Structure 1
Amino acid sequence: MEISWRDFEKVDLRVGTIVEAKDFPAARKPAYQLLVDFGDTIGLRKSSAQITALYKQEDLIGRQVIAVINFPKKQIGKFMSECLVTGVADEGGNIVLATVERKVPNGTKLI
């Protein structure tokens, strides 16, 4: 399905740095609870991410990711997800995080 440029502009994709990663035992599928820093203007946002197969918690801290920040909040058990960290599935179905090639300021908009 083809979309217009105006449709794409509605999706607010920003770069943020993971500052915290915790186990999420209440999730139906193995996941982490992430806290992502999107800079002074946007601030900190929480996200649930099913990335446990390829990433250890300690390896996520300081990693920059690309996330959608203008979806409505989503209740996942007792956890409220405030953004969607993006990624793609590898050949085994494991999620590989979408990141930036070089460090950029937190909150930078994907254009």
Structure 2
Amino acid sequence: SIARAPKSPSHNIRLADHSRCHALGEGTAMQVLHRPTHFTIFACDAFGVRLKDGGTPFSVSVRGRSSVHPTIRDMHDGSYEVEWQATVSGLYMVSATLRGHHIMGSPFTARVVSP
């Protein structure tokens, strides 16, 4: 999939670059047991400029002591909201990738703690 820049006379197409995309939010570091946690992925081009459209095919996996099925919601503004929830405390590996390549800082180690 291609994230498109605002229309210009040259109709340039900007692709997200996995090495410049990044994530922010509690869900990359910590989660309280049985409660959903969130983080946001920001799609950026090779120059680190944030894309303003959706459609970038990010994938997220969370591996740890319990089965976790994260969800990704395309906000259609270059950001992607991720939610996940674990049912067993411990350390979890949160991987965010674009076309098979980790984004900046990924994989993340998140600690799931009891309330």
> Whose helix proportion is higher, 1 or 2?
1
Q: Quick check: which has more Rg, 1 or 2? A: 2
TM-score, reference length from structure 2:
0.24
